[in-house]
Amino acid sequence: MTDLNALAQQFLALHEGPTLVLPNAWDAASAAVIESAGATAIATTSGGVAWALGRSDGEALERADALDAVARVVRAVSVPVTADVEAGYGDVAATVTGVIQAGAVGVNLEDSRGGKVISVQEQAAQYALARAAADAAGVPDFVINARTDIYLFAHGAPESRYDEVVARAEAYAQAGATVLFVPGLLDLPTLEALSKASPLPVAVMARPGGPTIGQLSDVGVRRVSIGTGLAQLAYTSALRAAQEMLTEGTFTSMEDAVDYGVINSLFR
């Protein structure tokens, strides 16, 4: 696993700046396209992976199916890959071990179950299991992106959320997490304060109409992803083109499509 740990170190170093931008992939082809656009690493989206496999998001996937998807992404690209494994599919240690065996060097693990945020103690224990599994697999620099859903699910009173996130950042760091991911939070002053208070680099999930990469970088955010955003856009394009064909009998929606040969060449 020496080479894999070197790849993990490469991925970890990307969090030191400039801000790491991760347009999330959901299968091998989307990962290859994203790499060709200049991405320095690939992050999967659990929702996109689930949809591509005919399931809904929210741990509806079997672990084996999720890991197979990770392995296909890894084989399609030459940059580090980190996998969104939701809450760990029932056994965090087994899932992290499987992710490493698939060739990925990081995971995204969330602290909610069924839309409910669990206790900081319970989730910290999960991150400790993940770190131990990575160490046992010979990848001590494996990157654990600790997702806290305090803001995403409006957990607790609004005035208590910032302090709760800081407390979780400290507990998760002690348990072995590498990055703090706070989806649902895009308020720039709050992110600036959190970036200074957190012992872990801060990651966010961007959205249309929200702050730009430059604005997020200026307040100290070190990692930006978009969740299912690209997958939604791809399926929206397919929907609109299909509707045009079926209702208008025309094909203008396809005029700006990437050339067949360009996409096909990514897999030679």
Q: Per residue in 24-75, pLDDT tens?
A: 999 999 999 999 999 999 999 999 999 999 999 998 999 999 999 999 999 9
**Which of 43, 93, 81, 88 minimizes the C-alpha distance to 66?**
88
Q: Where are the alpha helices (DSSP H) in the chain?
A: 2-13, 28-36, 46-52, 63-76, 92-101, 120-136, 161-175, 188-197, 213-218, 229-247, 260-265
- CB burial string 222-259: b at 16+ within 10 A, e below: bbbbbbbbbbeebeeeeeebeeeeeeeeeeebeeeeee
Q: Quick check: 22 and 39 in contact, CB under 8 A?
A: yes
pLDDT of residue 1: 64
Structurally, at CATH architecture level, domain 2-228 sits in: Alpha-Beta Barrel (3.20)
**Which of 56, 59, 148, 82 minimizes the C-alpha distance to 110?**
148
pLDDT at 251 exceeding the cut of 70:
yes
pLDDT in tens, 92-140: 999 999 999 999 999 999 999 999 999 999 999 999 999 999 999 999 9
pLDDT in tens, 130-181: 999 999 999 999 999 999 999 999 999 999 999 999 999 999 999 999 999 9
Residue position matching structure tokens 């690939």: 42
Residue 224 Rama label (left phi>0; alpha psi -120 to 50; beta): beta
Q: Quick check: 130 and 91 in contact, CB under 8 A?
A: no
CA 158 to chain centre: 25
Residue position matching structure tokens 């005029």: 255
∠ Cα 209 214 218 (to 5°): 115
DSSP 79: S
Helix/strand/coil for 153: coil
CA 171 to chain centre: 21
Average pLDDT of 14-31?
Answer: 97
Distance, in Å, from the CA atom of 140 to the CA atom of 15, rounded to the nearest integer, reads 16
pLDDT at 257 exceeding the cut of 90:
yes
CB atoms within 10 A of CB 136: 13
pLDDT at 240 exceeding the cut of 80:
yes
Structure tokens at 144: 């654990």
Residue position matching structure tokens 């072995």: 176
